[in-house]
Amino acid sequence: MTGIFALDLPWLTSRFDVATGAIDGVPSVQRYLADLRGCFADARAYEAALARGNPLVYSVASVEPAHGAGDLHYGLAVVHPGRVGGEYFHTKGHLHQWREAAEIYLGLAGEGAMLLESERTGETRLVPLGEGHVVYVPGYTAHHTINTAAVPLAYLGVYPAAAGHDYGAIADSNFRSVVVERDGRPVLLERAAFHA
Ligand code: PAN
Ligand code: ZN
Protein backbone atom coordinates (compact mmCIF):
# COMPACT_ATOMS: atom_id res chain seq x y z
CA MET A 1 0.00 0.00 0.00
CA THR A 2 1.48 3.36 -1.00
CA GLY A 3 0.30 6.83 -0.15
CA ILE A 4 -0.30 9.03 2.83
CA PHE A 5 -2.59 7.55 5.49
CA ALA A 6 -1.44 9.26 8.70
CA LEU A 7 -2.57 12.57 10.13
CA ASP A 8 0.82 13.71 11.45
CA LEU A 9 1.79 15.31 8.15
CA PRO A 10 3.75 18.56 8.31
CA TRP A 11 1.55 19.88 5.48
CA LEU A 12 -1.77 18.78 7.01
CA THR A 13 -2.47 22.47 7.46
CA SER A 14 -0.49 25.41 6.12
CA ARG A 15 -0.85 29.15 5.98
CA PHE A 16 -0.42 30.89 2.68
CA ASP A 17 0.01 34.53 1.78
CA VAL A 18 -1.73 35.72 -1.36
CA ALA A 19 0.34 38.93 -1.42
CA THR A 20 3.78 37.24 -1.39
CA GLY A 21 2.86 33.86 -2.87
CA ALA A 22 4.51 32.08 0.06
CA ILE A 23 3.28 28.94 1.78
CA ASP A 24 4.83 28.51 5.23
CA GLY A 25 7.69 26.01 5.27
CA VAL A 26 7.54 25.27 1.55
CA PRO A 27 10.11 26.07 -1.15
CA SER A 28 9.20 28.65 -3.75
CA VAL A 29 10.47 28.97 -7.32
CA GLN A 30 11.01 32.46 -8.75
CA ARG A 31 10.84 33.04 -12.49
CA TYR A 32 12.46 36.26 -13.62
CA LEU A 33 12.22 37.76 -17.11
CA ALA A 34 15.64 36.28 -17.94
CA ASP A 35 14.26 32.80 -17.22
CA LEU A 36 11.54 33.26 -19.84
CA ARG A 37 13.57 33.56 -23.03
CA GLY A 38 11.50 32.20 -25.93
CA CYS A 39 8.23 32.53 -24.04
CA PHE A 40 7.20 35.90 -25.54
CA ALA A 41 6.25 36.34 -29.19
CA ASP A 42 8.20 39.56 -29.78
CA ALA A 43 11.85 38.52 -29.36
CA ARG A 44 13.15 42.07 -29.95
CA ALA A 45 10.82 43.55 -27.34
CA TYR A 46 11.96 40.79 -24.98
CA GLU A 47 15.66 41.64 -25.41
CA ALA A 48 14.89 45.36 -25.04
CA ALA A 49 12.91 44.76 -21.84
CA LEU A 50 15.73 42.59 -20.46
CA ALA A 51 18.25 45.35 -21.20
CA ARG A 52 16.17 47.65 -18.98
CA GLY A 53 15.95 45.20 -16.07
CA ASN A 54 15.14 41.70 -14.94
CA PRO A 55 11.83 41.87 -13.05
CA LEU A 56 10.22 38.98 -11.21
CA VAL A 57 7.47 37.67 -13.50
CA TYR A 58 6.02 34.96 -11.24
CA SER A 59 6.64 32.75 -8.26
CA VAL A 60 5.23 29.33 -7.34
CA ALA A 61 5.32 27.71 -3.92
CA SER A 62 4.56 24.01 -4.29
CA VAL A 63 3.51 21.35 -1.80
CA GLU A 64 4.75 18.21 -3.52
CA PRO A 65 5.55 15.50 -0.96
CA ALA A 66 6.49 11.98 -2.06
CA HIS A 67 3.27 10.32 -3.03
CA GLY A 68 1.06 7.38 -3.73
CA ALA A 69 -1.38 7.08 -6.58
CA GLY A 70 -4.31 8.77 -4.87
CA ASP A 71 -2.49 11.77 -3.43
CA LEU A 72 -2.70 15.42 -4.40
CA HIS A 73 -0.14 18.17 -4.88
CA TYR A 74 -0.82 21.88 -5.00
CA GLY A 75 0.88 25.16 -5.74
CA LEU A 76 0.26 28.81 -4.96
CA ALA A 77 1.35 31.11 -7.76
CA VAL A 78 1.56 34.87 -8.10
CA VAL A 79 1.99 36.39 -11.57
CA HIS A 80 3.08 40.02 -11.50
CA PRO A 81 1.70 42.70 -13.79
CA GLY A 82 3.71 43.66 -16.86
CA ARG A 83 4.01 43.27 -20.62
CA VAL A 84 6.62 42.46 -23.25
CA GLY A 85 5.86 44.00 -26.65
CA GLY A 86 2.21 44.27 -25.63
CA GLU A 87 2.04 40.61 -24.53
CA TYR A 88 0.99 40.26 -20.91
CA PHE A 89 3.29 38.62 -18.35
CA HIS A 90 2.44 34.93 -18.09
CA THR A 91 3.75 31.63 -16.78
CA LYS A 92 5.82 29.30 -18.97
CA GLY A 93 3.03 26.79 -19.27
CA HIS A 94 3.16 23.04 -19.61
CA LEU A 95 1.38 19.79 -20.26
CA HIS A 96 1.27 17.20 -17.51
CA GLN A 97 3.75 14.39 -17.97
CA TRP A 98 0.92 12.00 -17.18
CA ARG A 99 -1.29 13.43 -19.91
CA GLU A 100 -4.57 12.25 -18.33
CA ALA A 101 -4.00 14.35 -15.22
CA ALA A 102 -6.47 17.23 -14.84
CA GLU A 103 -6.06 20.24 -12.55
CA ILE A 104 -8.27 22.68 -10.66
CA TYR A 105 -7.30 26.34 -10.55
CA LEU A 106 -8.81 28.58 -7.88
CA GLY A 107 -8.44 32.31 -8.44
CA LEU A 108 -7.58 34.16 -5.22
CA ALA A 109 -6.68 37.73 -6.17
CA GLY A 110 -6.29 39.94 -9.20
CA GLU A 111 -7.60 39.51 -12.70
CA GLY A 112 -6.32 37.46 -15.56
CA ALA A 113 -6.91 34.52 -17.82
CA MET A 114 -5.84 30.99 -18.61
CA LEU A 115 -4.90 29.92 -22.08
CA LEU A 116 -5.84 26.29 -22.70
CA GLU A 117 -4.73 24.37 -25.74
CA SER A 118 -5.87 20.81 -26.34
CA GLU A 119 -3.14 18.48 -27.50
CA ARG A 120 -5.85 16.09 -28.70
CA THR A 121 -8.12 18.38 -30.73
CA GLY A 122 -5.99 21.47 -31.29
CA GLU A 123 -8.73 23.69 -29.78
CA THR A 124 -7.78 26.87 -27.95
CA ARG A 125 -9.79 28.52 -25.16
CA LEU A 126 -9.06 31.69 -23.23
CA VAL A 127 -10.99 31.59 -19.94
CA PRO A 128 -11.10 34.10 -17.10
CA LEU A 129 -9.00 33.46 -14.00
CA GLY A 130 -9.10 35.89 -11.10
CA GLU A 131 -10.60 36.30 -7.66
CA GLY A 132 -13.77 34.18 -7.52
CA HIS A 133 -12.99 32.09 -10.62
CA VAL A 134 -12.44 28.37 -10.72
CA VAL A 135 -11.09 26.71 -13.86
CA TYR A 136 -11.08 22.99 -14.63
CA VAL A 137 -8.11 22.08 -16.81
CA PRO A 138 -8.81 18.73 -18.49
CA GLY A 139 -6.08 16.19 -19.23
CA TYR A 140 -4.12 16.49 -22.49
CA THR A 141 -4.36 20.29 -22.23
CA ALA A 142 -1.44 22.72 -22.30
CA HIS A 143 -2.13 25.52 -19.83
CA HIS A 144 -0.66 28.79 -18.72
CA THR A 145 -1.86 31.81 -16.79
CA ILE A 146 -1.79 35.45 -17.85
CA ASN A 147 -2.00 38.58 -15.73
CA THR A 148 -4.12 41.10 -17.66
CA ALA A 149 -4.44 43.64 -14.84
CA ALA A 150 -2.21 46.14 -13.04
CA VAL A 151 -2.09 44.16 -9.76
CA PRO A 152 -0.68 40.70 -8.96
CA LEU A 153 -2.71 37.65 -10.02
CA ALA A 154 -2.75 34.91 -7.35
CA TYR A 155 -4.23 31.42 -7.61
CA LEU A 156 -3.96 27.87 -6.29
CA GLY A 157 -3.54 24.91 -8.63
CA VAL A 158 -4.42 21.43 -7.34
CA TYR A 159 -3.35 18.37 -9.33
CA PRO A 160 -2.79 14.64 -8.94
CA ALA A 161 0.54 13.92 -7.28
CA ALA A 162 1.40 11.70 -10.24
CA ALA A 163 0.79 14.48 -12.81
CA GLY A 164 4.38 15.64 -13.34
CA HIS A 165 5.28 18.67 -15.47
CA ASP A 166 6.31 18.48 -19.12
CA TYR A 167 7.72 21.84 -20.25
CA GLY A 168 9.44 20.44 -23.36
CA ALA A 169 6.57 20.54 -25.84
CA ILE A 170 5.74 24.18 -25.02
CA ALA A 171 9.41 25.18 -25.01
CA ASP A 172 9.78 23.65 -28.49
CA SER A 173 6.71 24.93 -30.28
CA ASN A 174 5.02 27.34 -27.85
CA PHE A 175 1.29 28.10 -27.57
CA ARG A 176 -0.33 28.84 -30.91
CA SER A 177 -2.00 31.98 -29.53
CA VAL A 178 -0.83 35.00 -27.56
CA VAL A 179 -2.72 37.43 -25.35
CA VAL A 180 -1.82 41.05 -25.99
CA GLU A 181 -3.05 44.43 -24.89
CA ARG A 182 -4.97 46.38 -27.55
CA ASP A 183 -6.60 49.70 -26.59
CA GLY A 184 -6.28 48.77 -22.93
CA ARG A 185 -7.97 45.39 -23.29
CA PRO A 186 -6.69 41.82 -23.62
CA VAL A 187 -7.06 40.33 -27.10
CA LEU A 188 -6.31 36.76 -28.23
CA LEU A 189 -4.25 36.61 -31.42
CA GLU A 190 -2.77 33.78 -33.43
CA ARG A 191 0.98 33.85 -32.83
CA ALA A 192 1.47 33.91 -36.61
CA ALA A 193 -0.87 36.95 -36.94
CA PHE A 194 1.00 38.72 -34.14
CA HIS A 195 4.27 38.35 -36.05
CA ALA A 196 2.73 39.56 -39.32
C1 PAN B 1 0.64 25.34 -11.66
C2 PAN B 1 1.87 25.94 -12.36
C3 PAN B 1 2.09 27.43 -12.08
C4 PAN B 1 3.37 27.95 -12.75
O5 PAN B 1 0.87 25.16 -10.31
O6 PAN B 1 2.99 25.18 -12.06
O7 PAN B 1 1.01 28.15 -12.59
O8 PAN B 1 3.38 27.70 -14.12
P9 PAN B 1 4.52 26.83 -14.82
O10 PAN B 1 4.60 25.53 -14.06
O11 PAN B 1 4.04 26.63 -16.21
O12 PAN B 1 5.79 27.60 -14.71
C13 PAN B 1 0.31 24.05 -12.40
O14 PAN B 1 -0.29 24.09 -13.43
N15 PAN B 1 0.76 22.91 -11.89
O16 PAN B 1 0.48 21.73 -12.52
ZN1 ZN C 1 -0.43 22.10 -14.43
Cβ of 145 closer than 6 Å to ligand 1, yes or no, is yes
Instruction: Specify if 50 maps to a domain.
Output: yes
Kindly report the average pLDDT of the chain as a whole number: 94
Is 176 a residue whose pLDDT tops 60? yes
Q: Determine the atom of ligand 1 nearest the C-alpha atom of 144.
A: 11
The confidence score (pLDDT) of residue 54 equals: 98
Instruction: Kindly give the distance from the C-alpha atom of residue 84 to the centroid of ligand 2, in angstroms, as a whole number.
Output: 23
Instruction: Specify if 172 maps to a domain.
Output: yes
The confidence score (pLDDT) of residue 196 equals: 64
pLDDT band at 1 (very low <50, low <70, confident <90, very high): low
Instruction: Specify if 3 maps to a domain.
Output: no
Instruction: Specify if 94 maps to a domain.
Output: yes
pLDDT in tens, 31-80: 999 999 999 999 999 999 999 999 999 999 999 987 788 899 999 999 99
In three state form, how does the secondary structure of the chain look? Answer: CCCCCCCCCCCCCCCEECCCCEECCCCEEEEEHHHHCCCCCCHHHHHHHHHHCCCEEEEEEEECCCCCCCCEEEEEEEECCCEECCEECECCCEEECCCCCCEEEEEEECEEEEEEEECCCCCEEEEEEECCCEEEECCCEEEEEEECCCCCEEEEEEEECCCCEECHHHHHHCCCEEEEEECCEEEEEEHHHHHC
- Kindly report the pTM of this predicted structure: 0.96
The confidence score (pLDDT) of residue 3 equals: 67
CATH number, domain at 156?
Answer: 2.60.120.10
Number of domains in the chain: 1
Cβ of 39 closer than 6 Å to ligand 1, yes or no, is no
Instruction: Specify if 107 maps to a domain.
Output: yes
Residue 21 structural domain: 9-64+72-193
